[in-house]
């Protein structure tokens, strides 16, 4: 109905086709919209529903703006969505107020925002609020920001030692601050080069821009790594890379992101997401059906575009920007399961090329459909002002598609991806694009369960057998369902596969399974080593996959670079450097065992032990 009212269809038959195909995709678990669509569409009465999962806010260096930030975040969380904000515009605690005295500093105001988030259950359920806080690496308070979460978590560990409940909703965590946000430090190429070359780095006053303090960039990077080694925060966002791929630089630069770092856009913007279940597009012949996948992309992009103008937004400024930019975030889930079912090790050149081709096809077809819609309805309002940079970014994506190693990818899949990008450039020159952004790699944490996925987003599996602690209490045992298909692809008989599966059920690991050939073990490697095993994917395996995917994503990639408990601070530091070198826009690390409690683990242990904790970022 929204589409018919908006003039999206040439005939009633066209609208019926979209309705039927969209319904089929949803019912058969080929696709799911982001959670706020399920929470709010049809439940808002006469009001427009909040449909976007991701928001980026802005804040100015005055009290009224800071309090508006708190209020706007609260409204976003209530609707089941998440928000991010760069707080570098707030003067540091080392700078004076106009009326005399020193300012409180942005970290002080983070405490208030964290308390607001902690008191609002997202979507009116037990789903927790999600937020991102970003600070630039040249802010005078950056060290306080880097360590704020690690210092608070030391208190949680101490309370646990005293017997306080350390569960997700336990009383210990209720008294600990900064637990509702992911924190990220935003750095430029200049900072990273200075760190590698051990050069000096200036922290600059917010009010004047003058050099306030001089330090060593490498020392600052090491502090980021030390804090992340302790508690998983902060992550890093690579500002120069982000803005190099920005389609609307004339309208403003990109300063922040959503909670999981996949939506990166102008301040005061919104993005609605949807994700495709990759394993549902594997045909009976075991091959990925590129044609059917492309059609699913078309249907989903059309539906997401229709949603934009029929959604509510928390502020007038976000409403205006949402309508002027019409940003979409199409992504996928179950990549790890798809690769495993194909008999490909996640950490392999073949897997990276195959994933790159699928991602290129997804985003290429998404922008091609966006251009087709623009031919009928017109491009997004900010496109004429940003035509040259937007078109240039499209050519950058297309050129990357032609750099995928052809010998590692099925010819039909790679041909479809490259053809899509050729069409994007051709159609865009004629009509422009309806959407400033088309794709992201979201974490898909909730909707992956709706689609019965074994793996989320672009991640490999955490473990073949894992245990999920629920916010409302209880635990789920999740057993990977892809192993039998992978064993069949690798040539094992049904009885051999059954014996291996029984071993996994019994021991929670595939290592030592009867009849499993050693050369096939890498296919079943996961993010964390099992409780009774030794194997896992190295941090470079995660980073190389992100580097392969990033050139084909409008936004960024929500993904954790997992490290073993034995990893050092130098290993974390190297992960951040390698992510930057591989062209990744943002990265988060998690060292196994560095959190006191985690929703996902590789054992049923519910005590306060830090062992066998899995990633949540």
Pair of tokens at residue 372: 């087709």
**pLDDT for 610 beyond 50:** no
Average pLDDT, the chain: 93
pLDDT of 172 reads 77
pLDDT of 153 reads 87
Confidence band for 157, pLDDT divided at 50, 70 and 90: confident
| Strand partners for 204 | 211
pLDDT of 247 reads 98
**pLDDT for 611 beyond 50:** no
Positive/negative CA dihedral, 565, 566, 572, 577:
negative
Residues 6+ apart with CB under 8 A from 12: 4
Best CA proximity match to 72, nearest among 323, 317, 437? 317
Across the range 388-393, mean pLDDT stands at 98
> Left (φ > 0), alpha (ψ -120 to 50) or beta: where does 420 sit?
alpha
Strands 465-469 and 475-479: antiparallel
pLDDT of 479 reads 84
Cβ distance 441 to 549 under 8 Å? yes
Q: What are phi and psi of 161, to 5 degrees?
A: -65, -25
Cβ distance 180 to 117 under 8 Å? yes
Across the range 235-250, mean pLDDT stands at 98
Best CA proximity match to 555, nearest among 188, 208, 254, 164? 254
pLDDT exceeding 70 applies to what percent of the chain? Answer: 94
**pLDDT for 594 beyond 90:** no
pLDDT of 124 reads 52
Q: Which value, to the nearest 10 degrees, does the dihedral of the CA atoms of residues 442, 443, 449, 455 take?
A: 110
pTM, full prediction? 0.94
Across the range 216-236, mean pLDDT stands at 97
Query: Catalytic positions, please?
Result: 258, 260, 262
Cβ distance 52 to 311 under 8 Å? yes
**Stretch (H or E) spanning 305:** helix 290-308
**pLDDT for 146 beyond 70:** yes
Which pLDDT tens digit goes with each residue over 48-102? 999 999 999 999 999 999 999 999 999 999 888 999 999 999 999 999 998 889 9
Residues 6+ apart with CB under 8 A from 82: 53, 54, 55, 76, 122, 129, 130, 131, 132, 258, 259, 260
Across the range 167-176, mean pLDDT stands at 75
Which pLDDT tens digit goes with each residue over 494-503? 999 999 999 9
Across the range 442-449, mean pLDDT stands at 92
The lowest-confidence range among 39-53, 142-156, 491-505, 514-528 is: 39-53
Task: Say how far residue 389 (Cα) sits from the centre of its chain.
Answer: 24
How many alpha carbons lie under 13 Å from residue 4 in its C-beta half-sphere? 10
The shares of helix, strand and coil residues in the chain, as percent rounded to the nearest 5, are 45, 15, 40
Which pLDDT tens digit goes with each residue over 452-509? 998 999 999 999 998 877 767 788 888 888 999 999 999 999 999 999 999 999 999 9
The lowest-confidence range among 271-275, 442-446, 539-543 is: 442-446
Strands 256-257 and 328-333: unpaired
Q: In the chain, count of helices (H) and strands (E)?
A: 21, 17
Cβ distance 213 to 92 under 8 Å? no
**pLDDT for 122 beyond 70:** no
Confidence band for 614, pLDDT divided at 50, 70 and 90: very low
Cβ distance 443 to 464 under 8 Å? no
């Amino acid at each position: 109905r929204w589409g018919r009212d908006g003039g999206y269809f040439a005939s009633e038959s066209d609208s019926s086709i979209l309705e039927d195909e969209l319904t089929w995709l949803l019912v058969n678990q080929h696709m799911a919209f982001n959670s706020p669509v399920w929470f709010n569409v049809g439940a808002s009465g006469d009001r427009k529903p909040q449909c976007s999962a991701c928001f980026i806010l802005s804040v100015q260096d005055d009290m009224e703006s800071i309090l508006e930030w708190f209020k706007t975040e609260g409204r976003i969380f209530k609707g089941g969505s998440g928000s991010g904000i760069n707080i570098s515009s707030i003067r540091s605690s080392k700078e004076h107020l106009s009326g005399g005295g020193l300012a409180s500093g942005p970290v002080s105001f983070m405490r208030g925002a964290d308390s607001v988030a902690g008191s609002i259950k997202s979507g009116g359920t037990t789903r927790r609020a999600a937020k991102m806080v970003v600070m630039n690496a040249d802010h005078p308070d950056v060290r306080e920001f880097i360590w704020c979460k690690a210092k608070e978590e030391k208190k949680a560990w101490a309370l646990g030692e005293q017997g306080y409940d350390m569960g997700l909703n336990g009383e210990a965590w209720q008294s600990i601050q900064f637990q509702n946000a992911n924190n990220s430090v935003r750095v430029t190429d200049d900072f990273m080069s200075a760190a590698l070359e051990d050069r000096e780095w200036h922290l600059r006053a917010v009010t004047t821009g003058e050099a306030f303090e001089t330090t060593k960039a490498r020392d600052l990077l090491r502090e980021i790594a030390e804090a992340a080694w302790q508690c998983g925060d902060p992550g890093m966002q690579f500002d120069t890379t982000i803005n190099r791929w920005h389609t609307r630089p004339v309208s403003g630069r990109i300063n922040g992101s959503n909670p999981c770092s996949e939506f990166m856009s102008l301040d005061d913007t919104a993005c609605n997401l949807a994700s495709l279940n990759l394993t549902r597009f594997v045909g009976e012949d075991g091959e990925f059906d590129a044609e059917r996948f492309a059609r699913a992309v078309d249907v989903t992009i059309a539906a997401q575009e229709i949603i934009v103008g029929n959604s509510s937004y928390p502020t007038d400024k976000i409403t205006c920007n949402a309508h002027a930019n019409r940003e979409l975030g199409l992504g996928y889930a179950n990549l790890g399961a798809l690769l495993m079912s194909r008999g490909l090790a996640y950490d392999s050149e073949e897997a990276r090329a195959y994933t790159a081709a699928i991602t290129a096809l997804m985003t290429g077809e998404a922008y091609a459909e966006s251009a087709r819609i623009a031919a009928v309805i017109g491009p997004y309002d900010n496109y004429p002002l940003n035509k040259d940079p937007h078109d240039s970014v499209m050519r950058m994506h297309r050129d990357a598609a032609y750099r995928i190693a052809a010998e590692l990818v099925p010819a039909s899949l790679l041909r479809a991806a490259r053809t899509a990008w050729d069409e994007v450039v051709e159609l865009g020159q004629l009509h422009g694009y309806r959407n400033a952004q088309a794709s992201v790699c979201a974490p898909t944490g909730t909707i992956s369960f709706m689609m019965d996925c074994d793996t989320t987003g672009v991640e490999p599996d955490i473990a073949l057998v894992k245990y999920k602690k629920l916010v409302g209490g209880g635990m789920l045992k999740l057993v990977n369902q892809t192993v039998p298909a992978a064993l069949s692809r690798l040539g094992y008989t049904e009885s051999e596969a059954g014996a291996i599966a029984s071993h996994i059920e019994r021991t929670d690991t595939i290592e030592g399974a009867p009849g499993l050939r050693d050369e096939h073990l890498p296919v079943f490697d996961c993010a964390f080593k099992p409780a009774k095993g030794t194997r896992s994917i190295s941090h470079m395996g995660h980073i190389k996959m992100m580097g392969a995917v990033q050139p084909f994503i409008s936004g960024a990639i929500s993904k954790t670079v997992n490290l073993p408990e034995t990893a050092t601070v130098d290993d974390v530091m190297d992960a951040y450097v390698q992510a930057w070198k591989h062209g990744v826009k943002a990265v988060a690390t998690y060292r196994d065992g560095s959190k006191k409690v985690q929703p996902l683990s590789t054992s049923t242990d519910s005590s306060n032990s830090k062992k066998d904790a899995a990633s949540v970022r």
